[in-house]
Amino acid sequence: MTICGAATSNCYNTTSNVLVFISSSLSSPAKTKFLPSLSRFSVRHSCFFAQTRPRIGFNKPSMNLFSRLGFGGARAQENTDSSIPQGPDDDIPAPGQQFAQFGAGCFWGVELAFQRIPGVSKTEVGYTQGSVDNPTYEDVCSGTTNHSEVVRIHYDPKACGYENLLDLFWARHDPTTLNRQGGDVGTQYRSGIYYYTPEQEKAARESLEQQQKQTNRKIVTEILPAKKFYRAEKYHQQYLEKGGRFGFRQSAAKGCNDPIRCYG
């Protein structure tokens, strides 16, 4: 069981007895996920929506699983030129919009949480901060590329302040666990704020300082300039809104506070 509090609380992981099912074929992306025992639950309290409800906890593959099984990694090892992926995110948001980028564990649940914020016009999940150009999901899960799973947010600063996004970021995950969120283990699950402007950097660092004062454990969130963003495969986009693994659609309506089932 993973019990997570709001940003002012601590998160503890007591997950056990997780059943793992791996498809004999990787042709269907959803079949590569982990299916947990339904007898285990996790509870999350979001200070953004100020509500506590139970939800089923799920685990994704650890970063080296694909590598151990012989998938991914090979292509990643072929491309060691990091000049392209280490360049800045030079995409341009729509007029009147700004970008924000966060890594807070598995990007499915994180994306849905940000989709629900008024003032957010669009969300995309993808990979960044790694050493390989145009990585695949299997490359990232191999643990050899150092990419982070992130959500890139398009938002209207007049309708949604950057501080509101930071509030949800802290509430959504445990920033004190290095390269891990619950049962999801690997560098792609690390906590990170990737800023686009000096103003965002300043707000992020001040926010981290405030959060650190509210916990007795060291926050390991990295704060770095936004680098080239690689949009994840189509099936990852709005994954939970579209139904996730089991076809259970979850609402992305603005202000919705339904519990988020992170793996569908």
Question: Which residues are marked as active site?
Answer: 106
The whole-angstrom separation of Cα 140 and Cα 232 is: 10
Q: Any residues with CB less than 8 A from the CB of 234 and at least 6 apart, and which?
A: none
Q: DSSP class of residue 14?
A: -
∠ CA 113-119-102, rounded to 5°: 45
Q: Determine the 3-state secondary structure of 121 from DSSP.
A: strand
The tokens of 87 are what?
């360049």
Q: Determine the 3-state secondary structure of 74 from DSSP.
A: helix
The tokens of 209 are what?
């300082």
∠ CA 31-149-186, rounded to 5°: 75
Under 8 Å between Cβ of 86 and 227: yes
Q: Any residues with CB less than 8 A from the CB of 95 and at least 6 apart, and which?
A: none
Q: Any residues with CB less than 8 A from the CB of 214 and at least 6 apart, and which?
A: 7, 8
The tokens of 189 are what?
């699950």
